[in-house]
Structure 1
C-alpha cells in the first residue's frame, strides 16, 4: 500500500513569469515555453505531441473543460482557474486564458497563457471544484488517517 504521495505538494508559479503553450485543434501540444516545462516537471520534448490533458489534475471537474472547449470552439476567449498535475504527481494552480490563434484571419491553433493564483483564490476554487465534482460526477476527494498497526496489516495482506 502506497503511503507517500507527492500529490500533496504544491509548486508555486513565479509571479513574474507566464506559462505559455499552444495546441492543435485536437488539443495536442505543439509548443511550450520553458516556464511551462519547469513548472509541470516535464521536459519540452516530453510534452510536444501529447494531449494537453496530460497535466489535468483529477480534482478538476469535467464540466470546466467542457465549458472551455465549448467556448474556444466558438472562437471566444475562455478564462478560468485550473489546478494542473505535475509529472511527479504534485500540483500547481493557474489562472488561464485560452484563445484561438489566427494567421491571415484563418484559425490555426489554440494558445493558452497562464499566470499565478493567490493562495486564498486557490482555496476558494478547490472548495468549489470539490463541490462540483461531488454533484456532477459523484466523486469526493478524501484524505484518510489510520493507525499504523492497521496500515501494517493492510500492507501484509497486499503481499
Structure 2
C-alpha cells in the first residue's frame, strides 16, 4: 500500500471518553484496530490490517522516540508517550499512548497493544512540540538517517540525564 505523504496541517480531535486501540504483531503489523482508530485515521479496517503501524507515522514525530519505544517494549516493559499521527488524507492528531507487550499463556511476547487517549493540550504545546522540534532538527542536521537518529537519541538521553530522570520518570511527570 502506498503512503500519501501530503500533509494538510489540519489537526483532528477525538473525545476524552474515546480510547483509540490497536494491536500489532512482533513486526509492528496491525492485527486489530477499533472503531475510534478507524474513524480518526481515515483508513478502513481492511486497509489497516496487516499493514505496518508506521503507515500513520507523521514526519514530525522524531525517530528516536520510536527507537526508545521499541527498546522499552522489547525489554518487556510498558511505555507512555505523546505521539503525533498522520491520517490517510494528510491531517494529523495527537495522542497520549500507553503501549504494552502482549503475551501468550507461556509469557512469551507475541505482539503489542496500544491504548491512546486525548493528550493534555498544554503539555503538547509547551513541552512535547518544542522537544520534538529540537529532536527533529538534530535528526535532520545529518545527511545519514541513522546518524541523525543516533544523534537525536543522544540529545534526548542528555536532556533526561541533565534533569536526573529516566524517560519513564519524565513521562510520568507530564
TM-score (normalizing by structure 2): 0.74
Q: Does 1:137 align with 2:109?
A: no
- The alpha carbon displacement at 1:121 in A equals 1.9
Q: RMSD value over aligned CA atoms?
A: 1.4
- Per the TM alignment, residue 42 of structure 1 is displaced from its structure 2 partner at its CA by 1.0
User: Number of aligned pairs?
Assistant: 135
1:114 to 108, 116, 119: 116
For 1:118-139, what per-residue CA distance to the aligned partner results, in whole angstroms no more than 9, with x for missing partners? 3222213112101111023328
Higher helix fraction (1 or 2)? 2
**CA displacement 1:2-45 (0-9 Å, x = unmatched):** xxx75211101211010000000000000000000001111111
Which of structures 1 and 2 has the bigger CA Rg? 1
**Superposition pairs for residues 70-85 of structure 1, below 5 Å?**
70-85=71-86
Q: Which consecutive segments of 4 or more residues in structure 1 shift more than 6 A?
A: none
Partner of residue 32, structure 1: 33
Counting only pairs closer than 5 Å after superposition, residues 1-159 of structure 1 correspond to structure 2 as 7-104=8-105, 105-124=107-126, 125-138=128-141
Q: TM-score, normalised by structure 1?
A: 0.80
Q: Which runs of 5+ in 2 are unaligned?
A: 1-5, 143-174
